[in-house]
Amino acid sequence: MTATALAKAAEKTRRNRNRPSWEEPPTPAGQAGKGAVLVFICLVVLIPIYMVVLTSLSTQGSINLAGGMVLVPHGITIEAYRQIFTNNLVISSLIASLGITAVGTFISVVVTVLCAYGLSRYRSWGHRPLLMLLVVTMFFNGGLIPTFMVVAGLGGYDNFWALILPSAVSVFNILVMRGFFANTSRDLIDAAYVDGAGEWRILTRIVLPTSRAVVAVIGLFYAVGYWNTFFNALLYLPDNQKWPLQLVIYTYTLQGNPMPGMGVTQTGTYLGAQQIAPLSIQMAVVTLTLIPILIIYPFVQRHFAKGMLLGAVKG
C-alpha cells in the first residue's frame, strides 16, 4: 500500500471516529446539495441588501432603466446620502434611535440580570410564585388600548420613556438567563459564601463573569428590538422631531410621503448634472438603519450558540 493510500485511510478513519455510529458517511451528492442550499440561502439574504445599497447610490436614470430597484449599476452617486445627512429630520431621528437603543438596552439588561439572578436562587423567598406570575404574562396581557391609557395616564405621551419602560422586560429573556445563572458552579458560590461574600459580590464577581455569553446575546436581542421599534413611536410620539429612524422609514418610505426638507418631487430633483430619485433617498435611509446592527453583530455572533443553547437546554 502506497503512502498516499495510507494517508487517505488514516483520514477516513479520523473522520469516522468523530462521527456517531448511527450516522452514515456523507455522499458527494449530499455534500453538493448542502452546499447548493447554503449558497441559495446566502443569495436570498444578500441580494436584497445589495439591491437596497445599490439603489441608494443610483441616479434617477439608472432607476428608470431598471424599472425600480437596481440590480446592475448604470451610474453611481452619493448625493442621496448628502441629502439625508443635511436633513434635520433624519439627523434628529438617528440621534433619537441611538439614544433610545442605548438607554433602553442598558435598563433592560440590568433589570433582566437582577430578576433572573433572584429567580435562579432556589432558596430565595417567593421565587416560585414570582416565576409563575412572570410566565402568565407571556400568554395574557391587558391589550393595546388599556396599555395606551396607562402609559398616557402616567405622562408617557409625547415622551421618549414611553418607548423604553413599557417594553423594558422580556419574560423569555429572563427565563433564558435564569437557566444560565442556575447552572453556575455551586462550589464557586458556596466558596464565596464561606469567604463572606454577599449576593451583590457573588453576582458581580462570579455569576456575571461566567455568563458573558448569555448577557451579550440578550443585550443584542434588546438592542435590535429598541432599534427596530416604530409601533410604540407611532402611538406615543406625535411630534415628528422625536420620531426614531424606523418611524421615519415607515412614514416616508413605505407610505411614499415626501420627506420634509428634501425638496424631492415624485420625479426627482436635479443637482448639477445628476438627478436624485426619491427611491434613492428612501433606500439611503434604509441603508442607514442597517449599519449599526451590521457593526455590532460580528462582535456578538460568537456568543450565540453558547449563550442560547446553554441557557435554554440546561435550564
Please give the model's pTM, rounded to 2 decimal places: 0.76
pLDDT digits (tens, 9 = 90+) for 244-281: 988 888 887 665 566 665 555 444 554 444 456 778 88
Nearest Cα residue to 218 out of 252, 246, 253, 176? 176
Query: Is 70 exceeded by the pLDDT of residue 230?
Result: yes
Residues 6+ apart with CB under 8 A from 56: 80, 81, 280, 281, 283, 284, 286, 287
Q: Which residues pair with 276 in a beta bridge?
A: 269
The answer to whether residues 124 and 189 touch, using CB atoms and an 8 Å cutoff, is: no
Query: Is 80 exceeded by the pLDDT of residue 144?
Result: yes
- Residue 46's alpha-carbon distances to 52, 118, 282, 300, in angstroms, are 10, 42, 19, 20
State the cell numbers at 261.
Answer: 426638507
pLDDT digits (tens, 9 = 90+) for 147-201: 889 998 998 898 999 999 988 888 999 988 888 888 877 778 878 888 888 888 8
Give me the chain's average pLDDT, please. 80
The architecture in CATH of the region 82-313 reads Orthogonal Bundle (1.10)
The answer to whether residues 214 and 310 touch, using CB atoms and an 8 Å cutoff, is: yes
Q: Helix or strand or coil: residue 58?
A: strand
Cα(213)–Cα(101) distance, integer angstroms: 20
With 0-12 / 13-18 / 19 or more C-beta atoms within 10 angstroms meaning exposed / middle / buried, residue 240 is: middle
Q: Helix or strand or coil: residue 3?
A: helix
Higher pLDDT, 305 or 125: 125
Q: What is residue 267's predicted lDDT score, i.e. its pLDDT?
A: 47
Cα(117)–Cα(203) distance, integer angstroms: 8
Which region holds residue 68: left if phi is over 0, alpha if psi is between -120 and 50, else beta? left
pLDDT digits (tens, 9 = 90+) for 270-314: 444 445 677 888 888 888 888 888 888 777 776 665 555 554 444
DSSP secondary structure of 132-179: HHHHHHTT----HHHHHHHHHHTT-TTSGGGGTGGGS--HHHHHHHHH
pLDDT digits (tens, 9 = 90+) for 44-93: 999 999 999 998 888 888 888 888 888 888 878 888 888 888 878 888 88
Cα(121)–Cα(175) distance, integer angstroms: 13
Positive or negative torsion for Cα 308, 313, 314, 315: positive
Query: Is 70 exceeded by the pLDDT of residue 22?
Result: no
Q: In the chain, what are the domain boundaries?
A: 82-313
Cα(187)–Cα(197) distance, integer angstroms: 14
Range with lowest mean pLDDT among 18-22, 94-98, 208-212: 18-22
> What is the identity of the amino acid at 220?
L
The neighbour count for residue 213, using CB atoms within 10 Å, is: 20
